[in-house]
Every structure is written in C-alpha cells, then in structure tokens.
Amino acid sequence: MRSFFILFLTCFLSGSSVFAQTFSVDNPVLKKIWEEGNNNSKLQSLAQVLDDSLGSRLTGSPSLKSAQDWAVSKYGGWGVNAKIENYGEWKGWKRGVTHIDLLEPRVRTLEGTMLAWSAATKAPVIATTIILPDLADSAAYIQWLPKTKGKFVMVSPMQSTCRPDTNWKGFGTPESFDKMQKERTANEDNWRKRISKTGMTTDKIFLQLEMSGALGIINCLWTKGWGVNRIFGVSNEKIPVVTLNCEDYGLLYRLTENDQHPKLSIETQSTYLGEVPVGNVIAEIKGKQKPDEYVMLSAHFDSWDGASGATDNGTGTIVMMEAMRILKAVYPNPKRTILAGHWSGEEQGLNGSRAFVEDHPLILKGMQAVFNQDNGTGRVERIGTQGLMEAGAFIARMLEKLPTEISKNISIIFSSMPSGGGSDNASFICKGVPAFGLSSLNWDYFSYTWHTNRDTYDKLVFDDLRNNAVLVAMLVYLACEEPELLSRERRTVFPMNQQTGKPVTWPDCVPAKRKFQINPPSVQ
C-alpha cells in the first residue's frame, strides 16, 4: 500500500495520469457491483421519468414535491427505506405557459420564457418597449422611472453577435475574432457601469420598475452558446419578468433603439401557492456492525425550471439513486449505515444540505465520508482532498482496489482547498466532515446546460453515467469497510488568496435559509 501511494503521488506531481491496479475478482462484492451496474443499469429509465415526465424541480413547486414522492416510491420498490424530511418553508409557485409575440413592425413569435416565481398576466398584455438608458447618476435614474409606466422595459445589453467563440475561431480571421472580443468586452463593461450609475442592484431595479408602473421586464443572460440562456428567478409578484434568447433579444433591442416602434404581446400563466413545506429526500440502508457510523451519497434534487434540470442535477440524482439500488442488491448488510441525501434548495444557497447538517449533529459525528456529485453528465475524473491531511491516502486506498476501466482517468488533487460553497459538500466540510466532490468531465456544461433553457434529457451521456454509478457504489462499499473512521486533521498551512492577499482560511458554516426572503427596495 505504501509503495502504491508513493507511486501515486509521484505520478500526480509529474502530471501523468494515474492507473490503479488491475481489477481483481478476489473481492466478490466489487465484482457484483461491476456486473449489476453494467448489466442491469436502470439509469435510462430513471432519467426518462425524472427529466421528461416529472421535469424541472424548482424549490417550492409542485413538480419538486412530485419528484420527491417518486424518488421515495422508487426506493421503496428496491427495499430501501426513504422519507421526505422537512426543514422549512418556501414560496410555492407553479409554472404555466409563456407566450411572447412581436406584433409590430412585423409578426414573429419570440423564443423565451418567464423566470421562476414571476407573476402571471390576467390576459395577453400588449405594449411598446423601452431600454434602460445610460444615465448620469442615481438621481437621473429616479427621474427616468416614470417613463417606464405602461411599457415593457429591456434591462440587458444587446450582444453584437450571437455566434459562439468556437464558431468565430473556426471561420473568422484572427483579426476579426480579436475585434469581436474587444467590442463585446467593452459593451459588457459599459452596461455594468450603466447599472452601477443607478445606485441599485439588479434585483432592486426589477422591483422599482414594478412599483413605477412598468407592465413587464425583459432580460437576456446569454451563455455564449448557440441559443442558450441562463434561467434564474425573481422576487417580482405583480408584473412578469421574461427572458429572451440572444437572437430575439437583439432583434427587439435594435427595433427599440432605432425608433421602429416594436409592439409586443406577452402572456404568462403562473400560480402562487403561498408558503409550502420544503424538505430533503433521505434514503437509508442500515449498518449491521457500526450502525451509528455513516457513509453518505449526496446530490441536490432541485433545479431551475427553464428546461428539465437534466444535468443540473438530474444526473447526480440518478447516479446516487442507481448506486443505492446497486448497493442494496449486492451489499444489503453494510458494515456502516449508508445514507443518500437528495437536497432541495441547493440553487437558493445549499439550504437543504445546510439544514441537514444543522439538524443532525450525531450523524455528522459518526460520518466516515460524503461523496457529492453536481457538475453534469461527464465521467468523474478528479477527487480533491478538501484540505484534510489523511484524505489523500484514504482515497488512494480505494482507487487501488477499483477496476482500471474506472480508476485510470481519476486523479487525486492533493492540494485541493476545502470547498466554501458551490455545491453541497461545502455544507459538510465547513464542519470538518470529510465530504468529497466528484468532479467530472465538462461536456460544455457551463456553456450549454448549467442553469439554462437547454438542460434536457438528450444531453445525457449514459456511458459516463454508468461509470459514475458503479464508481460511487464501489467507493461507498470500500468506505464502509474501512477499519477506522477517517481522520479529520486539517491542513494548517494554506496558500495566499490572490484576491485578498491573505492566506486561505477554513470556510465558516453558513446558516440554512429556511424561509423565502425578499428585500424590497426603498423608492426615493
């Protein structure tokens, strides 16, 4: 073991890929996990129901509750105990249809949708458009606000091109590509300054526009990919907030800017449901020898609702469900208790996992390891040590026992810092609990599916997902079988933070938000 670890560290430091020992059939459980995960996979059927039939899972929505009930039922069918554990309340909201149509100077149906928690229109609303102008200061902004009454307000910059950079590089000259990038950067910088001069945050601008009599708000958060927009949520409850794709937003912006008097019809249907309970799905396979010690599978269940939430984080959800199914089938009497946490409220600040950490100190005390996955459809390629001194050896012991087909592309990041946010392992690591993020191949995740209108079933890569489910099941089994709990000794020397010029410190734990929060602006 010591010689392998030294070899592993040497390969890592030299930048080479690390290959584990050839898979041995001497361990019958690992062999059964391999066979069950590859020959009897349920990933495609799980994904089809979750992404196509149940769809997006916005926190506080009926669709999230339906998906949670489905997950509990699936677990029950596999003989795994599961429940929904409530931790708070959130704004209940149900999405309906969105229609956005250009009526003048020509007719065209535009591609877009309302943002989460947006208000409904009682009927189609027809109005002209106005662009948030470049004003001198906050006083000029306050004076301008009455001009928005009875209009749709455009609050994002227009992109000079909706072609991705890869397209420009493939066909444009180096000079034209460089010119385009400089123009785009200048345009985005100028818009940020435009917002800054109002003296308001974007959220406050939205609410002030509502209070000033605007009939709706239109934005565009382009990801620099073909036809892809970021989809988030809003606090407005009286007027609709819609997002248009890059091409249609540019069309509308140019018509407005050139005084060609565009007229829009916008219809949004949605229902506010009051404060509704929110919770996490927790599944359990009870340990036989050390039931008060735990190994946990972790993935957030909620999503934004611009598409299906397929890769953020339907993939992590079905991988953890499939790993639990495999473990129940081939390792039904684990040494330690196995838990699966399917968190809600992750997109609003890791609220579900933070609440679990706050509510279960005894489970945290006995936690051997948490394995969290939350970054798309690709196969896992990196596992960081999260600032724990003994984590590298712990992970290496497990990788040594895995089949080469899985372990050959996985690197241990010995120098990784404890996660301060971004995904649910951060909720645990701030307490010093060993919680590892399983980082996967990109597959253009951030350009095309992360929080976008294109995060759908067809983007899934099932060969990689099968790899991940088998990997997780094997890691959980091996962590259960470890003789002792992993040490929680922390690094004492950290590198400098390049932004602050101060050494990195261990992250503080952030309290869970257990209720929807709105901070309305004051209007002078």
d(CA 125, CA 103): 12
Task: Provide the pLDDT for residue 489.
Answer: 97
Q: What is the mean pLDDT of residues 61-88?
A: 98
Strands 263-285 and 336-343: antiparallel
Distances (CA, A) of 284 to 29, 277, 336, 474, 483: 19, 22, 11, 17, 21
Task: Provide the pLDDT for residue 473.
Answer: 98
- Per-residue pLDDT of 116-155, as tens digits, reads 999 999 999 999 999 999 999 999 999 999 999 999 999 9
Query: What's the half-sphere exposure (Cβ side, CA atoms, 13 Å) at 31?
Result: 6
Q: Is the pLDDT of residue 361 over 50?
A: yes
Q: What is the mean pLDDT of residues 426-431?
A: 98
Q: Is the pLDDT of residue 3 over 80?
A: no
Low-confidence winner among 121-135, 430-444, 510-524 (lowest mean pLDDT): 510-524
d(CA 334, CA 31): 16
Distances (CA, A) of 269 to 95, 116, 336, 469: 7, 12, 48, 38
Task: Provide the pLDDT for residue 115.
Answer: 97
Low-confidence winner among 171-180, 265-274, 486-495 (lowest mean pLDDT): 486-495
Task: Provide the pLDDT for residue 501.
Answer: 84
d(CA 418, CA 428): 10
- The DSSP element (H or E) to which 428 belongs, if any, is helix 425-429
- Per-residue pLDDT of 166-175, as tens digits, reads 999 999 999 9
Cβ neighbours of 391 (radius 10 Å)? 24
Q: Per-residue confidence at 504, pLDDT binned at 50, 70, 90? A: confident
Phi, psi of 475, deg, nearest 5: -60, -40
Task: Provide the pLDDT for residue 308.
Answer: 98
Q: Is the pLDDT of residue 20 over 70?
A: no
Q: Is the pLDDT of residue 35 over 60?
A: yes
Q: Which of 444, 110, 459 is nearest to 308 (CA)?
A: 459
In whole angstroms, how large is the CA radius of gyration of the chain?
25
d(CA 471, CA 24): 15
Cβ atoms of 374 and 426 within 8 Å: the answer is no
Task: Provide the pLDDT for residue 12.
Answer: 41
Cβ atoms of 335 and 290 within 8 Å: the answer is yes
- Per-residue pLDDT of 375-409, as tens digits, reads 999 999 999 999 999 999 999 999 999 999 899 98
Task: Provide the pLDDT for residue 496.
Answer: 83
Task: Provide the pLDDT for residue 114.
Answer: 97
Cα pseudo-dihedral 4, 6, 7, 11, rounded to 10:
140
Task: Say which amino acid occupies 401.
Answer: K
Task: Provide the pLDDT for residue 24.
Answer: 53
Task: Provide the pLDDT for residue 502.
Answer: 84
Angle at 451 between CA 414 and CA 50, to 5 degrees: 95
For residue 100, list its beta bridge partners: 266
Cβ atoms of 163 and 227 within 8 Å: the answer is no
- Per-residue pLDDT of 328-346, as tens digits, reads 999 999 999 999 999 999 9
Distances (CA, A) of 439 to 37, 214, 322, 375, 423: 20, 44, 18, 7, 11
Q: What is the mean pLDDT of residues 358-387?
A: 97
- Per-residue pLDDT of 164-223, as tens digits, reads 999 999 999 999 999 999 999 999 999 999 999 999 999 899 999 999 999 999 999 999
3-class SS of residue 467: helix
Domains in the chain, CATH or no CATH each:
2-8+22-91+276-481 (3.40.630.10), 106-261 (3.50.30)
Cβ neighbours of 390 (radius 10 Å)? 13
d(CA 206, CA 239): 10
Task: Say which amino acid occupies 347.
Answer: E
Q: Which two tokens stand for residue 299?
A: 């993935």
Q: What is the mean pLDDT of the chain?
A: 93
Q: Which two tokens stand for residue 452?
A: 């976008």
